[in-house]
Amino acid sequence: MLTLSGVGKRYPTGDRALTDIELTLPKGQVMALIGPSGAGKSTLIRCVNRLVEPTQGSIRLEGTEITQLSGHKLRQARRSMGMIFQEYALIDRLTVMENVLSGQLGYVGFWRSFLRRYPQEAVVEAFRLLARVGLPHAIDKRADALSGGQRQRVGIARALLQSPKLLLVDEPTASLDPKTSRQIMRLIRELCAERDLAAIINIHDVTLAQQFADRIVGLRAGEIVFDGLPSELTSEILTTIYGEEDWDTTPEPMEDAVVDERDTKLRLASAVPEFAAGSVR
């Protein structure tokens, strides 16, 4: 359904963000995009809906070449791709309902949206979506009055009101607590299944990615270094994506506290020169 071939992005500063990306996403597949900060994950999904202009390659969504579109055609293509953002990107001073209805902007004219006179079906659908994500009571609250998890639910409802074929999800859980993160991921997962939506989810949390995605793609320095099933993600592969680290043991939070006094002295003496040289792993 979505095909990227030879996609590259070089910023005007000369930094290469993406190199020769080849990716095909079938209908209904939830794909997690993992990789270290600065690997080009955000750039990649922004190239798909042209919030960032790719500098080479082709991106096709159901047969439409997206890189060639402009003006009205580009806006039509954008409305078929719902986007969910890190830190929610809701319009703080608008109400929850206005935020959800802004998902209709690609379908209605300026004056309708200016006067907030959306078609009745759109309002019905917006309310249904808000009820689905569990916020029917919040329609008239201002978006900045909600908690993080609630805001992300509004963001999801906004994206779905576009009746998208594809969801582009940029770090949906980056500012949420672990429990809310899981709830949000589960919600996205369920909604994709209900509507047979494909999704690309950028995510830092590898465990969440493994748990909720059908497929995992690893990006390092703008290139795809892994593409496979969540179960195929081993420590070696994580090392190729993120670099050297002990992937199998979880650090004990109490470890440092139990080290006794003499040990601290020794450790400090050895740590100081290293610190002075400014070496940060």
Partner 1 sequence: MSERVDAQMQARQYAARKGQWRRLPLIHDPRLRWGIAIGAVIYLLLALASVDVNWARVAEGAGRAANFLGAFMQPDFVSRQNDIVAGLLESLTMTLTSTVLGVLLAIPVGLGAARNISPLPIYFVCRAIIAVSRTFQEIIIAILFVVMFGFGPLAGMITLAFATIGFMAKLLAEDIEDLDWRQVEAIRATGANWWQIMNHAVQPQVMPRLIGLSMYRLDINFRESAVIGIVGAGGIGATLNTSLSRYEYDTSAAILLIIIAIVLLCEYSSSHVRRWTQ
Q: Which residues bind partner 1 (CB under 8 A)?
A: 49, 51, 75-79, 81-83, 85-87, 89-94, 102-107, 110, 113-114, 155, 158, 162, 168, 268, 272-273, 275-277
DSSP conformational letter for 95: B
CB of 159 to partner 1, least distance (A): 8
Nearer to partner 1, 149 or 155 (CB): 155
**Cβ nearer to partner 1, comparing 78 with 220:** 78
Q: How far apart are CA 40 and CA 9, in angstroms?
A: 9
Please give the full DSSP string across 22-62, using - where no structure is assigned: EEEE-TT-EEEEE--TTSSHHHHHHHHTTSS--SEEEEEET
CB of 40 to partner 1, least distance (A): 17
Would you say 234 or 265 has its CB closer to partner 1? 265
Q: Quote the least distance from Cβ 219 to partner 1, whole Å.
A: 20
Closest to partner 1 by CB, 171 vs 216, is 171
Distance CA 36, CA 182 (A): 21
What is the closest distance, in whole angstroms, from the C-beta atom of residue 75 to partner 1 in the complex?
A: 4
Nearer of residues 22 and 117 to partner 1, judged by Cβ: 117
CB 201 within 8 A of CB 209: yes
Read off the DSSP letter of residue 142. Answer: B
Closer to partner 1 by Cβ: residue 167 or 233? 167
Closest approach, Cβ 249 to partner 1, in A, equals 30
Alpha helices in 80-118 (DSSP H): 96-101, 110-114
Give me the least distance between CB of 154 and partner 1, in Å please. Answer: 11
Q: Which of 42, 7, 38 is nearest to 22 (CA)?
A: 7
Tokens encoding 90: 């809701």
DSSP H helices, 71-147, are 71-79, 96-101, 110-114, 120-132
Give the tokens for residue 67.
């890189």
**Bridge-based pairing state of the strands 81-84 and 166-170:** parallel
Parallel, antiparallel or unpaired: strands 56-61 and 166-170: unpaired
Nearer to partner 1, 31 or 143 (CB): 143
Q: Measured from the CB of residue 252, what is the shortest distance to partner 1 in angstroms? A: 26
